[in-house]
């Protein structure tokens, strides 16, 4: 149970920071007594907890978007200009979710079995940390969510699909894309939060259904332990969202970039010295 509690805390702390929650869960597993990967299924299910935190934190925004989208597309009502903007955001979330859904479905087996090498994760942590640093430093700060359009939504979506590789970081990839497209840090972060909802919930509940049907737990963890980790991830994740939105108003992502490069470098050293297994 201690291990599931610890992994729940890690999930909550790292899901929204641009440092990759899946990479941290994979790394943490090597330092437990069994020294094994917690697995993609465990990671996907615990992400339900952090996405529930997004759902509750942004509940008013999500309610406005959902109602406007329904009124426009199902009820065929006339909308105010503000409501049209909300309905448009609903379409952009749907469109931006398409790339990761398609790639995740087509590459499921490859992602779960071939992309969880610690050598790959360490390298990706460093490389995408540097990419995020460059994008954050050189990106303009002129666009808000009102400027979001279809091409940008698709580009955000393609960036999000890179997070299928542990170590990239879904939030890191989408934030980097947003900064390259000229969006403010807060705008890039907010869309990143909303964009994750369909894909992460879909993946999480798909894996939860599979775990319940298997009746064998979630690889190394029982369903009870997984539920505990998911619950902890929810509470920790909620606190991180509140903190991060305030942080980006006055600070850059540089602390996270330094951390990514440092952790990736340490991991490469440990792997080369055979302290941990790849």
Category of 274 on φ-ψ map: left (φ > 0), alpha (ψ -120 to 50) or beta:
left
pLDDT digits (tens, 9 = 90+) for 234-255: 999 999 999 999 999 889 999 9
Cα 113 to Cα 103: distance, rounded to the nearest angstrom: 15
Residue whose entry in the numeric block shows the structure tokens 């869960």: 25
Nearest CA among 201, 120, 204 for reference residue 168? 120
DSSP-assigned letters across all residues of 232-262 = HHHHHHHHHHHHHHHHHHH--SHHHHHHHHH
Residue 98 pLDDT greater than 70, yes or no: yes
Distances 153 to 104, 112, 159, 172, 180 between C-alpha atoms, Å: 18, 27, 10, 16, 13
Q: pLDDT tens digits for 133-165?
A: 999 988 877 899 999 999 999 999 999 999 999
Least confident of 37-46, 58-67, 121-130: 37-46
**How much helix, strand and coil, in percent to the nearest 5, is found in the chain?**
75, 0, 20
pLDDT at 79 (0 to 100)? 82
- What pTM, to 2 d.p., does this model score? 0.90
């Amino acid at each position: 149970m201690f291990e599931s509690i610890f992994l729940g805390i890690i999930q909550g702390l790292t899901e929204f920071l641009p440092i990759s929650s899946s990479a941290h869960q994979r790394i943490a597993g090597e330092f437990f007594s069994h020294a094994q990967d917690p697995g993609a299924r465990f990671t996907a299910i615990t992400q339900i907890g952090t996405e529930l935190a997004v759902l509750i934190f942004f509940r008013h925004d999500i309610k406005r978007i959902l109602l406007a989208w329904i009124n426009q597309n199902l009820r065929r009502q006339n909308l105010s200009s503000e409501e049209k903007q909300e309905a448009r955001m609903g379409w952009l979330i749907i469109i931006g979710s398409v790339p990761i859904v398609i790639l995740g479905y087509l590459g499921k087996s490859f992602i779960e079995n071939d992309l969880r090498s610690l050598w790959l994760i360490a390298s990706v942590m460093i490389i995408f940390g540097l990419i995020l640093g460059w994008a954050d430093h050189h990106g303009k700060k002129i666009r808000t969510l009102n400027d979001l359009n279809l091409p940008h939504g698709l580009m955000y979506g393609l960036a999000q699909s890179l997070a299928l590789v542990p170590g990239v970081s879904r939030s890191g990839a989408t934030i980097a894309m947003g900064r390259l497209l000229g969006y403010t840090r807060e705008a890039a972060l907010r869309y990143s939060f909303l964009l994750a909802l369909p894909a992460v919930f879909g993946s999480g509940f798909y894996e939860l259904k599979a775990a319940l049907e298997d009746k064998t737990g979630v690889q190394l963890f029982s369903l009870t332990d997984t539920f505990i980790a998911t619950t902890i991830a929810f509470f920790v994740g909620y606190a991180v969202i509140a903190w991060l939105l305030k942080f980006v108003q006055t600070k850059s992502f540089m602390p996270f970039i330094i951390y990514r490069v440092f952790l990736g470098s340490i991991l490469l050293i440990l792997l080369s010295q055979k302290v941990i297994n790849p």
